[in-house]
Amino acid sequence: MTILALLFAFLLGLMLLYAFHPKAKLMELIGFSFPIGIGTITLLMFALDVLGLKINVLNTSISIVSACIGIGVYVFFVHKEQLTQISAKRFELNASIKDLNVVWLGCAAIIVFVLYGISKKSLFWPTFATDALTSFNLYAKAIAREGTLQNSLVLNQHVGGGAAYPPLYSLSLAYAMMFGFKLTKIIPVLFFISLTVGFYALVKQNTNSTNAILFTLVMITVPEMLAQSAINITSVPQSAYGALGVIAFFTWLSNKENGYLILSGVLLAFNGWIRSEGIVFITVVFLLLSYDTLKTRDYKKLAVFTVLSIAPFLIWQLYLRLNHELMDPFLQVEIIKMPLFDGEKLSKIVGISKYNLLSETYYGLVIYGFLLVVVLNVKFIIKNLDNVGLILAIALIIVFYLGLINQLQLRYDSVDNILKYSAKRFFFGPIIVMCFYLSNNALMKKAFEYIHNQLRYPLKPAADS
């Protein structure tokens, strides 16, 4: 039963991904199937609840199977020709094997060991983290047992503020519980593995396998992010959705394959369906796409992307509004709509955020590497506008986050506490995107093109110099 639940999630994600991105590579299918599948399942569970049906094994299974059949029919009729091309050749397996070298194997071995270690730790300990215990996991227990979001814990206010978070995480934990998982930490484990594979797949799409594996290693060994991936909270999954959504967007910008733009929209949609702050990532990509649309005048693409990426966020805000009497007590913050210009508060936010960002114990050397590589690339940035959009996206995500903190009015906590204990988690997303920049800038691309070619096995020695 438990395995079946995971297979359901994986299969639904796989089919959906194939439906909108039929040219997806094997690693993309592996990396994105689970996050897209589980995200879609939580949308189905939410729809059941809104329609007044119980969220239970039977109803959830029926809705998943119905969705799979619907997508299957669509794929069969729309992508019929491509279906016949599913083979080793289509996935370029042979080429991938020839791409392997000792750096790839070494890095891959370390990545596998790190993933094994962190997954084992995660699955060994029951849920401990305060937010998980008092909010997400507790809320999930009640959803799984009572079959509704508006359960006894919400009615009696016996669950923490996480009940007002967009429900992707709590619903996915409830899904695991309903299908018999005693411990729900399989969910964060699968999210982190998916982040690793998905990141590798997208970087490889932009560079080569040697570059991709090395910077995947850099990304997964961001100390605080790896540590937080083993506890049952929303930060790492949201960063994974948000950052991979941004990276998929830049992949689309470089190759103009529409599948990547829809992938970006879907990932960003789920990023707003897991934490409301995901709106930061959606806004940044929306601004960049709008700028691109000014040149291409393809307004339909912009409209589709915008509706797709923001819909779940808006649905949840509407749900909170419609049920405000019940849900308001769970809201931990209020956003002040008028811009605040309190110099003291702003300098405190910037100061502590700078301290956090430069902390090696939180983010390793990523931020230093990023700044150094930007400086080294100055020539390419000025001359060819190399990755200017990407640098701008990283800067905007950070600035928008700081702006968001500035506008927050906290009900039960202080800005100081948020900055000291929670704000370090806000930067996982931009840190992942920085790792992408590290791999994708002109200098690094050139260097790794050379390294990769040098380390390749000489299949045709005479022509391979």
Partner 1 sequence: MPKTKPQQKKEAKKKQDKSKSTQTSALSFVLKNAAALLVLALVLNLALTRPGYNWLWNSLIKKNLEMVNKNASMTDEIKMEIKYGLFAKYLQHIKQNTPENAVILLPPENVVDGIPEKYKMKYLKNKFYCTYFLYPRQIVFDQTKDNQEATHVAIVNNWGYEHLNYPVQKKQPLAILPIRNQN
DSSP per-residue codes, 261-292: HHHHHHHHHHHHTT-GGGHHHHHHHHHHHHHH
The bridge status of strand 333-335 relative to strand 408-410 is antiparallel
**Of 299, 128, 105, 324, the residue nearest 214 (C-alpha):** 105
Site string for partner 1, 261-300 (x = CB under 8 A): ----------------------------------------
- The CA distance from 87 to 78, in Å, is 19
Asked if 114 is part of the footprint of partner 1 (rule: CB under 8 A), the reply reads: yes
Cβ(98)–Cβ(456) below 8 Å: yes
In the numeric block, the tokens 């560079």 are attached to 207
Nearest-angstrom CA–CA distance, 165 and 255: 35
Nearer to partner 1, 21 or 445 (CB): 445
Nearer to partner 1, 176 or 310 (CB): 176
Which of 89-97, 150-158, 291-299, 302-310 is the region at the interface with partner 1 (rule: CB under 8 A)?
A: 150-158
Q: Determine, following the binding rule CB under 8 A, whether residue 364 of this chain makes contact with partner 1.
A: yes
Only one of the segments 18-26, 83-91, 301-309, 447-455 lies at the binding site for partner 1 (rule: CB under 8 A); that segment is: 447-455
The reply on whether position 121 binds partner 1 by CB under 8 A is: yes
CA torsion 363→428→438→266, rounded to 10°?
Answer: 170
Q: Is 360 in the site for partner 1 (CB under 8 A)?
A: yes
Q: Considering beta carbons, is residue 185 or 204 the nearer one to partner 1? A: 185
Q: Select the residue interacting with partner 1 from 82, 152, 347, 384 (CB under 8 A).
A: 152
Choose, by CB under 8 A, the member of 298, 342, 416, 464 that binds partner 1.
464
CB of 444 to partner 1, least distance (A): 14
Interface with partner 1, residue 421, by CB under 8 A: no
Among 54, 120, 354, 411, which residue sits at the site for partner 1 (rule: CB under 8 A)?
Answer: 120
How far is Cα 45 from Cα 58, in angstroms, rounded to an integer? Answer: 11
Looking at beta carbons only, is 63 or 356 nearer to partner 1? 356
Asked if residue 417 binds partner 1 (CB under 8 A), the reply is no
- Binding of partner 1 at residue 192 (CB under 8 A)? no
Question: Among positive and negative, which fits the CA dihedral 255, 258, 259, 265?
Answer: positive
Decide: 218 and 203 in contact? Cβ < 8 Å.
Answer: no
Phi, psi at residue 335, to the nearest 5°? Answer: -95, 125
Task: Render the burial of 5-36: b for 16+ CB within 10 Å, e for the rest.
Answer: bbebbbbbbbbbbbbbbeebbbbbbbbbbbbb
Determine, following the binding rule CB under 8 A, whether residue 448 of this chain makes contact with partner 1. Answer: no
Is 461 one of the binding residues for partner 1 (CB under 8 A)? yes
Binding mask 219-258 for partner 1 (x = CB under 8 A): --x-x--xx-------------------------------
**Binding to partner 1 by residue 180, rule CB under 8 A?**
no
Count of helix runs (H) and strand runs (E) in the chain: 27, 2
Residue 51 in 3-state DSSP?
Answer: coil
Stretch of residues binding partner 1 (CB under 8 A), selected from 73-81, 120-128, 165-173, 192-200: 120-128
- Residues of the shown chain interacting with partner 1 in the complex, contacts defined by CB under 8 A: 101-103, 106-107, 110, 113-114, 117-118, 120-121, 124-126, 128, 133-135, 137-138, 141-142, 145, 152-153, 156, 158-160, 182-183, 221, 223, 226-227, 359-365, 451, 454-458, 461-462, 464
